[in-house]
Structures are given as C-alpha cells and as structure tokens.
Amino acid sequence: MSLADLQVRSLGEARYDSPLAEYVAHRATNAYYVAEDDRVLIDDTISLLASRGDVPLDEVPSYEPGGPRRKIFFDPATTKAGIVTCGGLCPGLNDVIRALVLELFEHYGVTDVTGFRNGYAGLAPGQAPDPIELTPSFVQSIAERGGTVLGSSRGSQEVGVMVDTLVDRGIDILFVIGGDGSMRGAHAIHEEIARRELSIAVVGVPKTIDNDIPLIGTSFGFQTAYAKAAESIKAARVESDAAVGGVAVVKVMGRHAGFVACYSALAYQDADFVLIPEVPFSLDGENGLLAQLAKRVSERGSAVIVLAEGAGQDLIPASRRTDASGNQVLGDFSGLLRARIARDFKDRGMPLTLRHFDPGYLIRSVPADAADSVYCTRLAQVAVHAAMAGRTDIVVGRPRHRFAHVPIEEVTKRTQRVNPDGDLWLSVMESTGQPFTMH
C-alpha cells in the first residue's frame, strides 16, 4: 500500500471558519492529539518502517488524521445532512446516530438532519417508510436500547435513484453506518455524485460485529459483542462441569474472521478449544479435534468448544445459496460437529452430555456497553468533522489508536482476519492449551 492509496477526496476548498476553530487553533501534534496538517503512520515499528528502504518521510504510507479543522467546506446555516443504517444489527448503532445528530446540531449549528429508514431502501421512493426528522430531543435516549431507530435492511438499490433522492431532498452530507457491503454501496453513491459533478459528501462509519474491516482499528460494538459472548461461554463452562462427560459447543459470530471467538474465549479463559476460519483443522486422526476432545474430557471431566460460525466450512459441502447481500449462506458445520462428537464418544464407550449454545442474535442486538458507547461517540464526532470539512468517499476509524480518514475503496479490498502467526492467536493457544495444529 502506498501513500497515494490513502489520499482522501475533498469536495473543494474549505472557505468557512469552523465553529470549532478556537478548539484547535493553537494545538500541535503530541502524544494525545494529531494536528490537521500532520499524518498518522501505518508502520508502528522500526523494522517495518526500515523495510520500506530509502523512502522519504513525506512519502511513507500514512493516514490523514481525523478531528476538527480550522476551515470547513459547508456553510452550517444551509447544510442538510442525512443518516442511513444498513446491514445486520450491531451494538452501538443508536449511539452513533445520537452522536452524529448532537454534533451536527450543538457544535456546527446544522439543524436539518434526515434519517432514512430501513437501510438503502429508504433512499428509494416507495421501498421503505418515509424518512424522519432527527433532532436532539428525538435521539436523546435512543442509546439506551439496542438496534437502530432507523431500521436496517440488506440488498442494494439502484444508485441513480438513491442520488436522485439526495438531490430532491437537498442533502449535502450522507452518513452511512454499515459493513463492507454498505461501504461499497456508499462508494457507488459517491461515484454517481462525482459523475454528476455534485457537491455532496459521503462519509462512512464502518460497522462489523466480526471486526473484519481492515485499516480502521477495532470496529464499534465489537467489545460489547465479545463480552456478551463471553457470558455464554461462562454458562457453557458451568453446564459442562456439572455434567458427566460434559461437552459444550458455543457458536459465535465470525463468517470469515475469528475475532469474536478469540476475544470471548480469552475473557474468562473458560474455553478448551477455539475453532476459527483462519486456522484449518481436522476432525479425524490421532491429532484431530475429536481425539483431542476425548483426551481433554478424560483428563478434566469436561470441555468447552468455542466455534466461530465460519470455521470448518471446508469439512462440509459448499452451499450454493446466497443472502440478500450476496453473501454465501454458510453450511451447518455446528450440527455436523455435534453429530460427530456424539458418534465418537459412543464408539469410545465414553459417557457424554452434549450442550449447544448459540448466542449470535443476542450479542448483536444488545445496547453498547459504556466503553463502546464512548467509542461510538468519538467516531461519530470525527465523521462530522470530516464531512463538514468537505471530505468524501471515506470512512472514519482509529488505526494505531489515532482517529483517521481512510478511503472507502481501501477498506473494501480485503477482509481483516486473525493472523495465525500473530500475538492474538498465540494468546488463545496459551489460554486453551489446545494443540498448535489439529491435523
């Protein structure tokens, strides 16, 4: 990745004095703040930086920092903003909506904010309930419950129709809260806006309960999600310990990335095995999962398996079905695994009490915890600062613990996954004591 890849788009010269200019007028970069004319490095070790060779410092790949600017592109007195939430639910959606509205109203004086209902369908006339007016009083208490007050949906709409809606309603800024598919949609909306030579900013607040969007640091809602999943693992530990030959399988979210499985297993260190999509394993053989599971139960009396939903898909026939967003429908490896465990224990003459826990929809529909709520608020504030400054076709994130702007195209090129050679997976191995390979 080069510096050119990380250059963000702007609608034009920022000509208006920002209402927040006095906040940043005399601030310089320090350990806790990055000035607007500075950059946030991608490389965070000496060896990584040195591996780039003799690249001048001003050409090293880096992000544009997030935060308020001295000058802004939009006149707050005439600016109209829109907000849409897309895709599956995630803790913190209402927190982000609330923070966007409060920042627009209270710090920039933008008092015309529209909430489009049911995802991108809300930008297509007749496809969703009418948009609603978002005000500070409306959003004041929405963070107390999970989900999204705007509703959500999967699937795409015709891009030209969505841009027509923005134009008809006089929207100057569109905030999109959604996952990688939603961000691809946001990029398509931006491209159509650019083709028409319109001055409408499109800014994304990326959402993924799986934490699988790259270059943004941790995604909002992830901490709440794995904390809730950890409660299910603790319950599974209690159930399995109390039973004769107790084995519990806890299935958590993670289609392509095992972050929820890893972090939830580490929270209380109650898991004996963690299965994730990034690390292949076998069921059969001397070192396969079934043999290792039987050994663990023989030695300790019980075992808990944490299973990311996308793990083991190579061990079952591939599904040809897709959902409304075009994602492949996963096969039921969890069902296969439980059937194979039951058969294996029977063949070995071992007693078995098998329990299954699936907290998936529970962990994505709860309100954000306090830490996630803070993160949602700060991300939303950075998104508003970026939009008012005329930045477009970007998402906001916190790579390297610094808030930054990232081009949408860069976060949709690949999926962030657990690195089997990284320190997270090593921590899981240390916590569970499972073999480094199970083949």
Q: According to the annotation, is 196 in a ligand binding site? A: no
Average pLDDT over residues 416-430: 96
Per-residue model confidence (pLDDT) at position 386: 98
Q: According to the annotation, is 100 in a ligand binding site? A: no
Domain range summary for the chain, segments of one domain joined by + = 4-220+368-402, 224-365+420-432
Q: According to the annotation, is 362 in a ligand binding site? A: yes
Q: Is the pLDDT of residue 327 over 80?
A: no
Beta bridge partners, 71, equal 17
Element (H, E) at 184: helix 180-195
Would you tell me how many other CB atoms lie within 10 Å of the CB of residue 318? 9
Q: Is the pLDDT of residue 361 over 90?
A: no
CA 69 to centroid of chain Cα atoms: 26
Whether domain 224-365+420-432 has CATH 3.10.20.440: no
Q: According to the annotation, is 204 in a ligand binding site? A: no
Q: Is the pLDDT of residue 217 over 70?
A: yes
Q: According to the annotation, is 180 in a ligand binding site? A: yes
Per-residue model confidence (pLDDT) at position 324: 60
Q: According to the annotation, is 16 in a ligand binding site? A: no
φ, ψ at 362 (rounded to 5°): -65, -45
Contact residues for 339 (Cβ-Cβ < 8 A; gap 6+): none
Average pLDDT over residues 121-132: 94
Q: Quick one: CA dihedral 312, 314, 319, 324, positive or negative?
A: positive
Per-residue model confidence (pLDDT) at position 355: 97
Q: Is the pLDDT of residue 393 over 70?
A: yes
| Residue in 152, 175, 207, 154 with CA at minimum distance from that of residue 376 | 207
Element (H, E) at 174: strand 173-178
Beta bridge partners, 397, equal 404
| Residue in 176, 184, 168 with CA at minimum distance from that of residue 205 | 176
Q: Is the pLDDT of residue 318 over 80?
A: no
Per-residue model confidence (pLDDT) at position 185: 95
Compute the mean pLDDT over every residue in the chain, rounded to the nearest whole number: 94
CA distance 143 to 263: 24
CA distance 170 to 153: 24
Q: Is the distance from CB of 186 to CB of 123 less than 8 angstroms?
A: no
Element (H, E) at 103: helix 93-108
Average pLDDT over residues 14-33: 91
Q: Which residue has the tokens 């409306």?
A: 138
Collapsed DSSP state (helix, strand, coil) of residue 25: coil
Q: Which residue has the tokens 């709440």?
A: 224
φ, ψ at 205 (rounded to 5°): -110, 100
Q: Is the pLDDT of residue 216 over 70?
A: yes
Q: According to the annotation, is 208 in a ligand binding site? A: yes
CA distance 316 to 305: 18
Q: Is the distance from CB of 98 to CB of 140 less than 8 angstroms?
A: yes
Q: Is the pLDDT of residue 148 over 90?
A: yes
CA 308 to centroid of chain Cα atoms: 16
Per-residue model confidence (pLDDT) at position 326: 63
CA angle 10, 13, 18 (to 5 degrees): 95
CA distance 334 to 112: 48
The most confident of the ranges 71-85, 324-338, 354-368 is: 71-85
Q: According to the annotation, is 390 in a ligand binding site? A: no
Q: Is the pLDDT of residue 303 over 70?
A: yes
Average pLDDT over residues 99-116: 98
Q: How far is CA 132 from CA 128, 149, 177, 244, in A?
A: 11, 10, 16, 56
CATH topology agreement for domains 4-220+368-402 and 224-365+420-432: yes
Q: Is the distance from CB of 344 to CB of 62 less than 8 angstroms?
A: no
Q: What pLDDT band is residue 153 in, cutting at 50, 70 and 90?
A: confident
Q: Is the pLDDT of residue 61 over 70?
A: yes
Residue-wise DSSP of 26-42: T---BTTB--TTS-EES
**What are the catalytic residues?**
210
pLDDT tens per residue, range 262-289: 999 999 999 999 999 999 999 999 999 9
Per-residue model confidence (pLDDT) at position 57: 86
Residue-wise DSSP of 228-275: HHHHHHHHHHHHHHHSTTEEEEEEE--SS--HHHHHHHHHHT--SEEE
Average pLDDT over residues 185-203: 97
- Stated pTM of the model: 0.94
Q: Is the distance from CB of 211 to CB of 257 less than 8 angstroms?
A: yes
Write out the two tokens for 140.
């004041």
Average pLDDT over residues 137-162: 93
Q: Is the pLDDT of residue 45 over 70?
A: yes
Per-residue model confidence (pLDDT) at position 292: 98
CA distance 46 to 249: 42
Would you tell me how many other CB atoms lie within 10 Å of the CB of residue 304? 28
Q: Is the distance from CB of 425 to CB of 418 less than 8 angstroms?
A: yes
Q: According to the annotation, is 181 in a ligand binding site? A: yes
Q: According to the annotation, is 210 in a ligand binding site? A: yes
Q: Is the pLDDT of residue 322 over 80?
A: no
Whether domain 4-220+368-402 has CATH 3.40.50.740: no
Q: Higher pLDDT residue, 293 or 26?
A: 293
Q: According to the annotation, is 88 in a ligand binding site? A: yes
